[in-house]
Structure 1
Amino acid sequence: MQDIIIIGGGIVGLATALQIKQQRPNLSVTVLEKETHVAVHQTGHNSGVIHSGLYYKPGSLKATNCIRGYWSLIEFCEQENIPYELCGKIVVATKPEQIPQLNMLYERGQQNGLEGLKKLTLAQMREIEPYVNGVEGIRVPQTGIIDYKQVCEKYAQKFRELGGEVRLGEKVEQLTPGNSLSVVVTNKGTYEAKLVVNCAGLYSDKVAQMTQRNPINLRIVPFRGEYYKLRPEKEYLVKHLIYPVPDPNFPFLGVHYTRMVHGGVEAGPNAVLAFAREGYRKSDINAKELFETLSWPGFQKVAAKYWETGLGEMYRSFSKSAFTKALQELIPDIREEDLMDGGSGVRAQACDRTGGLLDDFAIFETERAINVCNAPSPAATSSLSIGLTVSEKVIARF
């Protein structure tokens, strides 16, 4: 019997496991991960940005955890010799009508405690990014780049050193909450636990449903983000990170340029509906999962309201020239032939029954479980802080 079973070996699950063992070494903690490695899905497919906390509503879980997590992550990387670089970024308004939203971001950043934010004219932007185009911008010095897979592997190593167990290749198939214990059945065995912590990412809603009798009021809708890479001879066009002003209606940041910590420059992502929860390619289709998404009342409301935006994202997915055109808003010198196929990731975006795309982290509790049901970006930056938040809820039970 275990005190705690954590479902999911991504960055949030492992950070939570590590925080619990650091605070309460006497508790027995096991992480169950269905893949043969940690950090296979959202953690292993993101673009490796250390987010500063610029975008998030002051006082929200995203804002407080991103800022606390940012400093915890930097400290952890210093202690463990994990390479990272605080290269900074600029957020660019490419049209005059985006300036009010840019000013709102600047104010949010100040409210969230970011120091050194600076408003920029086009001439000042070009001192930082010589090939950028726009009307105004903000310089954010805190933003950085890192390899989150490496961070995750270090979390797992330190967790094991403290006596924790990570069991790989164990897919949870059934979970039955009892009066004093929960029974967790995987493809390899059966476990009993006093408390289950659900950090299952793309399947967190499915696991959450197992922990309670009443239907849960949200569904994970998978959105695939597709990237291109700049050809090596064109990497000189991007010195740091360049972001557009995001659309306030969506929890996505728009296509942008990201210099990678191991070299190279990524351009993207778009945001298209994935036809499978782990649908990293256009051809990946899971009919059952797709039907569940399309039949969810909340998704139907989102689709009815934003079908035009969705079609535009889908068009960019199939048209390299359309994708290039979006990138040219920030750097006009980019040409279609400058882009090579890059990777892709799938974002686990929670959508409620009324059509709300949850913008904040969502953590809810039942008698025998704590469910982390919406932890997209900046969850990687925030991982140690989210882990601390969840571990405090766990320790309160013991």
Structure 2
Amino acid sequence: MADESYDVLVVGGGIVGLATARALVGERPGLRVAVLEKEAVPASHQTGRNSGVIHSGIYYRPGSLKARYAVRGAAELVRFCREHGLPHEVTGKTIVATAPAELPRLAALAERGRANGLRVEELTPARLREREPAVAGLRALWVASTGICDFAEVARCYARLAAERGAELRTGHEVTGIARRRDAVTVRLATGRELRCAVLVNCAGLYGDRIARLAGDDPGVRIVPFRGEYYELAEHRRGLVRGLVYPVPDPAFPFLGVHLTRGIHGDVHVGPNAVPALAREGYDWRTVRLADLADTVAFPGTWRLARRHWRSEVGELHRSLSKPAFLRAVRRLLPAVRAEDLVRAGAGVRAQAVDRHGALLDDFAFAGFDPADPRSPRRTVHVLNAPSPAATASLPIGAEVARRALAALDAGGR
């Protein structure tokens, strides 16, 4: 017999899980909801270890969930921060072409942004110097709707608002087993306790694929962790960067490249690179977990991904292990920066879903109960791929996951 019963249990106390809990109790007052977080505090991993950028949505394929949710989510998030007194600023973002070969990609990016409903301004070198005097480039784009905030504070606010409506946040609750039956789902914790729910929602981020498998669902993907390593500008050199400065992304590589980000608390982050992490919580090269590594290596998609992107990844590894190589990458945008200006900062791990063919999922992905498919699992909803810009898009993602969970609850009955 389970110790306690709920209508919905949400696994994962990051920003997506907390946004989902808030949406659930906001949509249906009186619903019995608990969020299970294995760490002592929420927002300990992806949510609390990113650059704090409220993304505009310019990079994403028109019509995709990422494009739609980022554009909508950015506007909603700014309103949310304003309403709840959370630190934020709409800074705008400069995307800079530093070589002639990047100019066609910059023009295509401008068209993509406009297709996504964004206001995009093209900058000449003179206009670029007006905005960012220390940044070098041939041409640039200005995207006014990009901003910055503290996503950990946003997540804590979601948790507080959900709690005010009756949801529970249970930290130190690591899920080790899931048994799905016709009438309910039983969740076993590392402490040996069991909780029962009508619907299980998986927002476990770095462990999303594992939670899906524990629930008896085949996610069809594996989370392959990539570590993003940052430097920051020394305090006396922060004036080199006024706002947010990004390179033109390389379409052959799925990450944005080294960029310059002025944070909401005044620091200026430089990075990240993107290197394979040797553990799902591998925030440095010293952290190795053999179970995580074996899980990654045993997945066929990992090897197909490596064959596809090995040249780009060699460059990322070089920049990880060599500060001079990292400095050269930074100087493409910021020629005045010196080695002594760069101070090691924190790192984050991106929960990137990879399919069996070695393709990185380029959109948000959900699985489990689907109201449009009567054959779908009735008591589980999974968020399988929600890397950046998931924090920006947390409000619409939370609303969508809550919609699926409530539909599953109604379909399965109480």
TM-score by length of 1: 0.98
Counterparts of 1:163-242 in structure 2, within 5 Å, are: 163-188=166-191, 189-212=193-216, 215-242=218-245
State the SS of the aligned residue for 1:394: helix
Partner of residue 379, structure 2: 368
Q: Is the 8 A contact 2:275 2:317 kept in 1?
A: yes
- Does 2:18 correspond to 1:14? yes
State the SS of the aligned residue for 1:43: coil
State the SS of the aligned residue for 1:42: coil
After TM superposition, give the deviation of residue 295 of structure 1 in Å: 2.1
Match of 2:61 among 57, 60, 65: 57
> RMSD of the alignment, in Å?
0.9
- Does 2:263 correspond to 1:249? no
CA distance in 1, matches of 2:262, 2:32: 40
CA distance in 2, matches of 1:102, 1:247: 10
Q: Is the 8 A contact 1:52 1:66 kept in 2?
A: yes
- Does 2:303 correspond to 1:303? no
State the SS of the aligned residue for 2:109: helix
- Does 2:6 correspond to 1:2? yes
- 5+ residue gaps, structure 1, are none
CA distance in 2, matches of 1:162, 1:143: 31
Match of 1:321 among 315, 320, 324: 324
CA distance in 2, matches of 1:178, 1:311: 47
Match of 2:97 among 93, 99, 120: 93
After TM superposition, give the deviation of residue 26 of structure 1 in Å: 2.2
Deviations along 1:36-87, one digit per CA (max 9) or x if unpaired, are: 0010000000010000111111110101111121121111111100010111
Q: Is the 8 A contact 2:62 2:116 kept in 1?
A: yes
State the SS of the aligned residue for 1:92: strand
**One-letter identity of the residue aligned with 2:260:** Y
Report the number of matched residues. Answer: 396
Q: Is the 8 A contact 2:30 2:166 kept in 1?
A: no
- 5+ residue gaps, structure 2, are 369-376
Deviations along 1:158-192, one digit per CA (max 9) or x if unpaired, are: 11110000100000000111111011001231011
After TM superposition, give the deviation of residue 27 of structure 1 in Å: 1.4
CA distance in 1, matches of 2:107, 2:179: 50
Partner of residue 379, structure 1: 390
- Does 2:116 correspond to 1:105? no
CA distance in 1, matches of 2:133, 2:402: 45
- Does 2:129 correspond to 1:126? yes
- Does 2:27 correspond to 1:27? no
Q: Is the 8 A contact 2:234 2:341 kept in 1?
A: yes
Partner of residue 279, structure 2: 276
- Does 2:406 correspond to 1:395? yes
Deviations along 1:213-242, one digit per CA (max 9) or x if unpaired, are: 5x4310000000000010111111100100
After TM superposition, give the deviation of residue 193 of structure 1 in Å: 0.7
After TM superposition, give the deviation of residue 137 of structure 1 in Å: 0.8
After TM superposition, give the deviation of residue 123 of structure 1 in Å: 1.3
Partner of residue 373, structure 2: none
After TM superposition, give the deviation of residue 341 of structure 1 in Å: 0.8
Deviations along 1:303-344, one digit per CA (max 9) or x if unpaired, are: 112112111111111100000000000011111111011110
Deviations along 1:101-137, one digit per CA (max 9) or x if unpaired, are: 111111111111112x101111111110001111111
- Does 2:343 correspond to 1:340? yes
After TM superposition, give the deviation of residue 359 of structure 1 in Å: 0.8
State the SS of the aligned residue for 1:40: coil
State the SS of the aligned residue for 1:206: helix
CA distance in 1, matches of 2:230, 2:360: 23
| Runs of 4 or more consecutive aligned structure 1 residues displaced over 3 Å after TM superposition | none
Q: Is the 8 A contact 1:211 1:368 kept in 2?
A: no
Q: Is the 8 A contact 1:131 1:331 kept in 2?
A: yes
Match of 2:46 among 38, 42, 62: 42
Q: Is the 8 A contact 1:47 1:260 kept in 2?
A: yes
TM-score by length of 2: 0.94
Q: Is the 8 A contact 1:5 1:196 kept in 2?
A: yes
CA distance in 1, matches of 2:290, 2:405: 36
CA distance in 2, matches of 1:244, 1:208: 36
CA distance in 1, matches of 2:366, 2:252: 22
CA distance in 1, matches of 2:156, 2:338: 37
CA distance in 1, matches of 2:55, 2:114: 15
**One-letter identity of the residue aligned with 1:167:** R
After TM superposition, give the deviation of residue 363 of structure 1 in Å: 0.4
Partner of residue 139, structure 1: 142
Q: Is the 8 A contact 2:151 2:391 kept in 1?
A: yes
